[in-house]
Structure 1
Amino acid sequence: MTGNNPSFTTIPILDYSLATSPTTKPQFLASLRHALVHVGFFYLINAPVASAVRDELIHQTTAIFDLPREKKLAIEMVNSKHFLGYSRLGAETTARRTDHREQFDFATELPPPGPDDPLYRNIRGPNQWPDESAIPGFRTAVEAYLSETQPLAEAFRGLICEALDMAPTALDGFFEHPIQQKLKLIKYPAPTRASEAQGVGAHKDSEFLTFLLQATPHTGLEVQNKAGEWIPAPPLPESLVVNIGRALEAITGGVCTATTHRVSLAAQNFLDEHNTDLGPRFSIPVFQGMSLDLSAEEISLAIPAHIRALVGDEQARSDAEATFNRIFRGRVGEGTFVHRIMSHQDVGRRWYPEVLEWALAKYEK
C-alpha cells in the first residue's frame, strides 16, 4: 500500500454474493476498489462456480498426474505449437531457478489460426487431450470448469470498471471473442533437498486476472506487500484467490496493482496441524488474457482523477508506464509469443527456431 496507507498484512476477503444485490453492491465495489488499488490479491467467496464441477475437476487433476509416464508424454507440450500440454517436473524456471512442479496446460478449445494470420496467433489453438480410455471424463471436467469461470471473469470485467467509477463496458474492447481462458493443473511434490524448495519463484502474473483454486489444504502461497514482507495466503475453504496481472496494471496506469507472489515448498507446508503428511500440493489457476491483436494506438481508458489519486505513488505510476510500453510495443500477442518461447524453449526449438534464436540473442546477453 502507498501514500498514507500502511502495507497490507492480510489478504482481503470479498463476498461475491454482495455484488448481486443493488443494496449491497456498493459495499462490494468499495472492497474491490481497495483490493485492486492497495493489495492486488483477494479471496473470493460465494463465487458462482458449482461445487460439484469444482470437486470433479480436483478429482480429475489428481488422477491425471497418476497416469503412466508414456500417457503423459503422449501429450507433452513440445508436441504442440500452441504451448498446450504436459510439462515434466522441473521443466520451467522462475527468477532463473528451477520450479519444482509438474503441470498440464489446457485452454478453451479453439481452432488453429489460418495460414495468413500473424505467427503470434499460434498462442491460440486446440488442446492436446489425454486418452479418454485412460482417464474417462477428464476433458468433460476441464471444459465444465472453464464454462463456470468464463461468465465469472466476464462479470468481473464490469465490476472492476464500476469499482474504478467507470462505465461497466469500459474494458470490453480489450478482449477477443471468443475469449480463450488458460488453465493449469499443477502438482508440487514434497521436496527431497533444499534446492527443490521453490515451487514457483517470486513473480507477477502477466495476464489480466488470475482465478486460483487451491485444491489441497497446503500452505505455501505467499504475497509480498510494499514493505517487502511475505504475507501468507493459505487455502480458505470454498474460495478462489484472485490476483491482478501486469496487463491490468499497465492499462490502468498503475491504479490496479500487480503484486509479487511465490509458492514456498518448505517442509512444514506439507504437514497439517497434527504433523500428518498431506502428500503433494495441487493448484489450479485460470488465467484471463487480453486481445492478442491489441496495440498501443488502440488503448484509451479514461480513469477518473479521484481514482488515479488513490495510488499516491509515482514509482508505481512509473513502473506501470514501463510495463505498458513493454506489453504494447507492437501487438500484445507479439510480446506474449516471445515470452512463451523463452519459457518453453523446447517448443521454440521445434516449432519456432528462428524466433527462439532471435529472442535468446536479444534477452540473454
Structure 2
Amino acid sequence: MTTNTPSTRSTAGIASVSLAQPLADIADELGNSFAEYGFAVVRDHGIPQSLIDQAEEKSKEFFALPSGVKEGYKIDGGGGARGYTPFGTEKAKDANVFDLKEFWHVGRSLDQSHELAEFMRPNVWPSEVDGFEPTFASLYSAFEDAGLRVLEAIALHLGLNQQFFASTVEDGNSVMRLLHYPPLGPDAPEGAIRAAAHGDINTITLLLGAEEAGLELLSKSGEWLSVDVPKGALVINVGDMLERLTGGALPSTTHRVVNPSGEAASRSRYSMPFFLHFRPDYLIEPLDGSVPSESDDFAPITAHEFLMQRLREINLA
C-alpha cells in the first residue's frame, strides 16, 4: 500500500544551510526557501549526535513495551498534550481515516504558580524505561535552543529585530513528539497512510529522523516533492501560526508521510518532531502591511485559542 505517484520528485530547491554560519549570511537563503516551499534543512544545529542517538534508543524501548503498559500512560481528556496517544487516534484535518502511527508527547514543565501553568499539564514519564526523563528533558531544551536560532534568522529575513521572536515564544506551549510508525499490516483501513496530508498548527517544526524516504511536501504547482535529508540534519517547516503572523508570506505547506513499499514496509519508522509554539496568550495577528485589512483569513486570535480550534479538527480535543 503506497501513495507515491510518478509525479513525486526530489526537492532539490530546498535550502540546506549550516546554523554554524553567521545568521545574517543565511537568513535570506532560509527565508526564501520557506517562502517558496515552507521547508528548509539545517545542519550544524547544535543538538549533540550522542543525545540524538540516546533519544532514539529510549524511544524504541518505550514503543516496544506491551500495549497495555503504554496505554496506562494515556491521559483522558488531555488532548494528547502529554504522555501516550495510541495507534488509530489522530487523523489529519478533513481526513476520513486515522494515521498509521502512535506517539508520546513531552511538553514544557512549569511551576504551578506560573501565570501560564493553566495552559500546560505536568509531564508524565514511563518508569519502565531507564533514563527516559533526563534524556528527553535534555533533548527538549536542545530543540528549543535550535528553534530560537532559526527564528532569529527568520526575523532578519523579515526585516525585524533579530530578537523579535524571543518574547513571543518565551514559556510557549511547545511539544516534542516521539513518533512510531509500525510495520504496515494487511488490516490497515483502506486509504490509510502513516501521516495523511496536513499542515502543522504551531510556529515552526523541527524534525529529527527524516532520513528514511517517505516525507513529502505539496508544491505550489500541486506536485508532491520528496524531502531528502542528510543524516543528523533537521528538517524545518513553517506552521500555521507563523503563516498567520506573516500574512501568508511564509506559508504552512501541506505535507505527508507516505507508506513505503518493499522491505521498508515490514519495518518500523521512528522520528522526533519538535512543535515550537508561541506563548498561549500571544495574540497572533499579521505584521503591519502584510495582508489587506479586509482579509478575514488572518483574523487576530490568541495562540491558545487557535491551538484548541485545530486540536478539535484533528480528533485530539
Fold agreement, TM-score > 0.5: yes
Corresponding residue of 1:3:
none
| Counterpart contact for 1:112–1:125, Cα < 8 Å | no
CA 85–260 in structure 1, closer or farther in 2 if over 3 Å, else same: same
| Counterpart contact for 1:71–1:130, Cα < 8 Å | no
Corresponding residue of 1:14:
17
1: CA distance between counterparts of 2:24 and 2:205?
23
Does residue 204 (structure 1) correspond to residue 199 (structure 2)? The answer is yes
1: CA distance between counterparts of 2:27 and 2:161?
13
The normalised TM-score by structure 1 is 0.75
The more displaced of 95-104 and 74-83 is 74-83
The normalised TM-score by structure 2 is 0.85
Does residue 333 (structure 1) correspond to residue 286 (structure 2)? The answer is no
Corresponding residue of 1:68:
66
Corresponding residue of 2:174:
181
Structure 1 position 173, deviation (Å)? 4.1
Identity %: 22
| Counterpart contact for 2:107–2:176, Cα < 8 Å | yes
Looking at secondary structure, tell me which structure has more helix per residue. 1
Does residue 343 (structure 1) correspond to residue 317 (structure 2)? The answer is no
Structure 1 position 79, deviation (Å)? 6.3
| Counterpart contact for 2:208–2:235, Cα < 8 Å | yes
CA 300–227 in structure 1, closer or farther in 2 if over 3 Å, else same: closer
For structure 2, list consecutive stretches of 5 or more residues without a partner in the other structure.
Answer: 1-10
**CA-to-partner distance for each residue in 1:252-288, whole Å, 9 max, x for gaps?**
11111211100101324816xxxxx6x2000110001
1: CA distance between counterparts of 2:271 and 2:241?
22
Q: Secondary structure at the match of 2:20?
A: helix
Structure 2 letter corresponding to 1:301: L
CA 235–62 in structure 1, closer or farther in 2 if over 3 Å, else same: farther
2: CA distance between counterparts of 1:65 and 1:182?
18
Corresponding residue of 2:235:
241
1: CA distance between counterparts of 2:263 and 2:152?
36
2: CA distance between counterparts of 1:62 and 1:135?
10
2: CA distance between counterparts of 1:169 and 1:250?
19
Structure 1 position 335, deviation (Å)? 2.8
CA 39–343 in structure 1, closer or farther in 2 if over 3 Å, else same: closer
Higher RCO by CA contacts (8 Å cutoff, separation 6 or greater): 2
Q: Secondary structure at the match of 2:305?
A: helix
- Number of residue pairs matched by the alignment: 302
Corresponding residue of 1:96:
96
CA 258–68 in structure 1, closer or farther in 2 if over 3 Å, else same: same
CA 60–142 in structure 1, closer or farther in 2 if over 3 Å, else same: same
Q: Secondary structure at the match of 1:54?
A: helix
Q: Which of structure 1's runs of 4+ aligned residues deviate more than 6 A?
A: none
Corresponding residue of 2:209:
214
For structure 1, list consecutive stretches of 5 or more residues without a partner in the other structure.
Answer: 1-7, 20-24, 272-276, 309-316, 349-365
Structure 2 letter corresponding to 1:255: A
Higher radius of gyration, 1 or 2: 1
Corresponding residue of 1:130:
126
Structure 1 position 97, deviation (Å)? 2.1
Q: CA RMSD in A?
A: 2.7
